[in-house]
Amino acid sequence: MSVAEDIGFFGKLPKALPGLALLVGTMVVIRFWIEPWMGNAVILDQKGWLIKVTHLNYILLGIIMGLLYRNVLFGGKLPDVFADGFKLSRLFIKTGIILLGSLYTVQAIIKLGSMAIFLIGGFVVLSIVMVLWLGKLLGMDRSMTGVMANACSICGVSAAVATAPAVEAKATHVAYAIATILGFGILTMFISPFIGHALGLNDLQYGAWVGTGILNSGQVLAACLAFNPNVAPGTAVSVGEIWNIMRVISIPFAVFAVTVWYWAGKEQPEGTKKSLSTLLLEKFPVFVLGFLGMVLLTSIGAFGDAGIKGGPPASATIKMIRDWMQWIFGIGLVGMGGYIDFKELAQAGGKPLKVGLLVGATKYVLALIVVMIIRDHLVEI
Distance, in Å, from the CA atom of 53 to the CA atom of 347, rounded to the nearest integer, reads 33
Measured from the CB atom, the residue of 119 and 328 that comes closer to other proteins is 328
Torsion of CA 205, 208, 212, 216, to 10 degrees: 100
- Name which of 43 and 316 has its Cβ closer to other proteins: 316
Shortest distance (Å) from residue 183 CB to other proteins: 7
Minimum CB–partner distance for residue 99 and other proteins (Å):
6
- Min separation Cβ 295 and other proteins, Å: 13
Q: Of the two residues 345 and 370, which places its CB atom closer to other proteins in the complex?
A: 345
Least separation in angstroms between CB 151 and other proteins: 11
Name the site residues for other proteins (rule: CB under 8 A): 8-9, 12-13, 16, 84, 86-91, 94-95, 97-99, 157-158, 161, 164-165, 169-172, 174-176, 178-179, 182-183, 218, 282-283, 285-287, 289-290, 293-294, 303, 315-317, 320-321, 324, 328, 336, 339-341, 344-345, 347-348
Dihedral over Cα of 145, 223, 60, 63: its sign = negative
SS3 326: helix
Comparison of 39 and 290: residue with beta carbon closer to other proteins: 290
Closest CB to other proteins among 121 and 165? Answer: 165
* Cβ 53 to other proteins shortest distance, Å: 28
How big is the CA angle at 347 (ends 344 and 348), to the nearest 5 degrees? 105
| Continuous segment of H or E residues that includes residue 61 | helix 58-68
What span, in angstroms and rounded, lies between the C-alpha atoms of 302 and 106?
13
DSSP category for residue 155 = T
Q: How far is CA 56 from CA 126, 225, 320, in A?
A: 33, 10, 24
Residue 107 has phi, psi (to 5 degrees) of -60, -40
Min dist. Cβ of residue 187 to other proteins (A): 13
With respect to other proteins, which residue has the nearer C-beta, 182 or 208?
182
Q: Are 28 and 94 in contact (CB under 8 A)?
A: no
Cβ distance to other proteins smaller for residue 341 or 380: 341
β partners of residue 46: 43
What is the nearest approach in angstroms of other proteins to the Cβ of residue 211? Answer: 18
The count of C-alpha atoms lying within 13 angstroms of the C-alpha of 100, restricted to the half-sphere facing its C-beta, is: 33
